Structure 1
Amino acid sequence: MKIGLRTIKTGIAVSTTMLVTDFLNIEYPFFALIAALIAMQPTVSDSWHSGINRIIGTFIGAFVGLLFGFIAPINFLLVGLGLILLIYTMNRLGWTDSINIAGVVFLAIILNDEGVHIIYAVNRLIDTFIGISIALGVNYLIFPPTYDKKAISVINNVSSQVWLCIDKAVDMLTNEENYLEEIANIINEIEVELSESDKFLQLQLKEEKVKVYGVYNSKEMQIRLNLVKETLQHLHNLYGALEKGVKKEVLEIIIEDINILKDSMKKNHLPISKKQKRLINLQPSINIIRTIKKGLKYNPRVNQYPTDDVVRLMVVIYNLEELMSKVTLLIDLLPSKGK
């Protein structure tokens, strides 16, 4: 298990904060170090929001702690009453994420037995600001986290997976083999990858709000993910039709063309690398599918069979065509060699 970049940056931020507090002769660097530790988040945007929440919590906690410290310091009744008032106020103002740190600062100030509550409170604010500033700087300047490539990488995987589903579906039509379980497993894998990519997209959207950009912007990522979602829907449609079954006698109408399609598909092998992407040409296979679809539609023999059976075969052919077209688009959207 390798050490992640965020872990390394957390160590850098805390160590740098310790050096700065030592240089500034800060007597109690604990709050600055904790602020740096907590403010180091997966995204710069999250670091910013975490820092703001901590500053708000520190300020409100210090203010209430000072107020109750002047009234009666280290009084068990006022400590409880002060916490109740503090939590109620934070909830009313909608600053729920700042409640914990506000409570910690409140307790630190009201229980401070040195007597100089104002100076202590101001020092805690300064400590917090130092820790947050350093964590933000480290997260922004040292390999700022971007999630575009992680999201886009799903395209290459999906291209291969969809092609495998198409191959299995055609094999089911020609060899009467049952590959439904394999197709279902592939669909599940794509759904998991798509869910992960959606999470990466949301993280990248956060980053772009604070001007942190990757190779791809969020709009490019959204276009690709939408295409994957459309592809996934066609896979579900194909699976549903195959699961209900295609009658052999209906399939005999187009079986010769299906075999021609299978031979054409053998010329195109996935996975597709960046070097291969321009060598792949799926258009001949797409044209064959369109010929099959047209031939099935106008073949007088279809009238001999139940409408449901013919429609089911048409659904299979239609979704094979759509999936082949989507694979072509996914291949075109593969990262170029320079990215």
Structure 2
Amino acid sequence: MKFSIYRPSIRTVKTGLAVAVSLAIANFFHLEAPFLSGISALMTVNDSISSSFKIALFRMTATVLGAVIACLFQFAGFTNSFAIGLAIVLLVQLFILLKWQESIITAGIVTISIMLFNPASHEAYILFSVSKIIDTFVGVATGFLINYLILPPRREVILVEYYRSILQEFIKKLGELLEKEGDVHISPLIAELNSITNETLTIEEDKRFIQNRVKETEIWEINTLFYILFSLITQLIDKKHIVPLTDKNKKALEELLDRDIQQRYDDKDKDYEKIFNFTISRIISTSRSIEKRLKEIESSVK
């Protein structure tokens, strides 16, 4: 009997490493809250360098703001449980206004820990607040550097995989349409288009930190071909009128689908058949163009 062994992803390993290193640094320098360093490192390692940088920046800014709010309440001598609740309400509202929702937990932990601190003087809680900022900095800096220096995410490789799966999904929808296997919904195709657009934007942001092996113009050219493909397929879906394929188109589609097509059509309409098969031929040629571009990109990212 063969047993499959679960292998953690590179990101998972780097996350564990970042947490371990940040805790080691915090313990080495006897920082007051190593758990903050560990949590910050855990949250910073992401699947793109630009995302890691943004998270690190937002976490640090959020920690500073959380510390400032807590210090103001401490300075006013308003630190009971209801005061802490009020401080959290103010913090959450501020972060929603700034659209920093993902940093609320980190800032909230800092705010609560500072307000629960019972200082002997104003200077004591200010120093305590600074220590929390340092704890967070150790975590986010460690998380970002490990993500950046150790096998940084190659988004263009991931994008090529997206492209291939999306192309297969588009062709699959076309096959369902031609074989009339119930209603064909385009919402999954729209979601796929959104995913490649978001992935392209991530690659553009990552170029500030790492050099991409694929030109942005090449990526947007493929994206444009996908938009054209989507437009052609939706034309046929919206028409809801299926007529016979030409032998040439049927053979080409079977090659794309890698299977036989059992086409079911409504009726024969000579005039519409020309338009229908012209659209099908454009879908085929566009799909082949995408496949050709993908092979070119794959050769450049290897």
Please indicate the TM-score interval, normalised by the length of the shorter structure. 0.7 to 0.9
Question: Is 1:55 matched up with 2:53?
Answer: no
- Counterpart of 2:153 in 1: which secondary structure? coil
Q: Which amino acid aligns with 1:244?
A: H
| Kept after mapping to 2: 8 A contact 1:10/1:40 | yes
| Kept after mapping to 1: 8 A contact 2:176/2:184 | no
For 2:176 and 2:61, the matched residues in 1 are separated by 58
Deviations 1:159-195 (A, max 9, x none): 66777888999xxxxxxxx72329958x787666444
| Closer/same/farther in 2, CA of residues 50 and 317 from structure 1, 3 Å limit | same
| Closer/same/farther in 2, CA of residues 98 and 179 from structure 1, 3 Å limit | closer
Aligned to 2:26: 21
Q: Which amino acid aligns with 2:233?
A: L
| Kept after mapping to 1: 8 A contact 2:58/2:100 | yes
| Closer/same/farther in 2, CA of residues 107 and 222 from structure 1, 3 Å limit | same
Q: Which amino acid aligns with 2:39?
A: I
Alignment of 1:79-228 (within 5 A): 79-87=84-92, 90=95, 97-115=102-120, 116-156=124-164, 179-181=179-181, 184=184, 193-208=192-207, 210-228=208-226
Q: How much does 1:131 deviate?
A: 0.8
- Counterpart of 2:295 in 1: which secondary structure? coil
1:69 to 56, 69, 74: 74
Alignment of 1:269-284 (within 5 A): 269-270=255-256
Aligned to 1:231: 229
Deviations 1:260-307 (A, max 9, x none): x369759x94579xxxxxxxxxxxxxxxxxxxxxxxxxxxxxxxxxxx
Q: How much does 1:197 deviate?
A: 2.8
| Closer/same/farther in 2, CA of residues 194 and 182 from structure 1, 3 Å limit | farther
Q: Which amino acid aligns with 1:219?
A: T
1:320 to 280, 291, 294: 280
For 2:167 and 2:75, the matched residues in 1 are separated by 68
Q: Which amino acid aligns with 2:200?
A: L
TM-score scaled to structure 2, two decimals? 0.75
Question: Is 1:41 matched up with 2:41?
Answer: no
- Counterpart of 1:129 in 2: which secondary structure? helix
Q: How much does 1:11 deviate?
A: 0.4
For 1:143 and 1:25, the matched residues in 2 are separated by 30
| Kept after mapping to 1: 8 A contact 2:163/2:196 | no
- Counterpart of 1:321 in 2: which secondary structure? helix
| Closer/same/farther in 2, CA of residues 262 and 182 from structure 1, 3 Å limit | farther
| Kept after mapping to 2: 8 A contact 1:36/1:135 | yes
Aligned to 1:244: 241
| Closer/same/farther in 2, CA of residues 163 and 28 from structure 1, 3 Å limit | closer
Deviations 1:223-274 (A, max 9, x none): 1122022123223334556x4244xxxx8xxx9xx45x369759x94579xx
Question: Is 1:311 matched up with 2:281?
Answer: no
| Kept after mapping to 1: 8 A contact 2:22/2:41 | yes
TM-score scaled to structure 1, two decimals? 0.68
| Kept after mapping to 2: 8 A contact 1:62/1:109 | yes
| Closer/same/farther in 2, CA of residues 244 and 6 from structure 1, 3 Å limit | same
Deviations 1:15-50 (A, max 9, x none): 111121222222431211111112222222222222
| Closer/same/farther in 2, CA of residues 117 and 269 from structure 1, 3 Å limit | same
| Kept after mapping to 1: 8 A contact 2:175/2:257 | no
Aligned to 1:292: none
For 1:42 and 1:99, the matched residues in 2 are separated by 21
For 1:14 and 1:56, the matched residues in 2 are separated by 20
For 1:334 and 1:104, the matched residues in 2 are separated by 46
Q: How much does 1:157 deviate?
A: 5.2
How many residue pairs end up in the alignment? Answer: 282
Q: Which amino acid aligns with 1:75?
A: N
Structure 2 gaps, min length 5: 1-5, 259-267
For 2:251 and 2:89, the matched residues in 1 are separated by 74
Q: How much does 1:52 deviate?
A: 1.8
| Kept after mapping to 2: 8 A contact 1:45/1:206 | yes
| Kept after mapping to 2: 8 A contact 1:87/1:99 | yes
Q: How much does 1:75 deviate?
A: 3.1
Greater CA drift, 318-327 or 73-82: 73-82
Q: How much does 1:127 deviate?
A: 0.9
